[in-house]
Amino acid sequence: MSGSTDRIAAKLADETLEVMTQTGNERFYIEVAQMIGAASQTLEEAYLTEIRVRLAARKAMSFIRKHKKASE
């Protein structure tokens, strides 16, 4: 994918996750992905990759913190 696609997808993912955190709507990214996909399948794929990576990182950090705290 192009650099511009990746940059745009990353920015959209950041903004989406911010809204998800503020509203508690854990499925908001799906609505955004559908809207993006109607215009650009390439951007939708890049966006979903960015979202999945960030969500996985959040879960992993939470898991690590939990185990770190338990061992203290």
**How many domains is the chain built from?**
1
What parts of the chain have a pLDDT lower than 70? 1
> 51, 13 in Cβ contact below 8 A?
yes
Per-residue confidence (pLDDT) for residue 38, from 0 to 100: 97
Q: What is the mean pLDDT of the chain?
A: 96
Per-residue confidence (pLDDT) for residue 1, from 0 to 100: 58
Question: What are φ and ψ of residue 40, in 5° steps?
Answer: -155, 110
Per-residue confidence (pLDDT) for residue 68, from 0 to 100: 92
Residues near 19 by beta carbon (within 8 Å), at least 6 away in sequence: 25, 28
Per-residue confidence (pLDDT) for residue 2, from 0 to 100: 79
pTM here is 0.87
Domain hosting residue 36, numbered range: 3-71
- Structural Rg of the chain based on CA atoms: 14
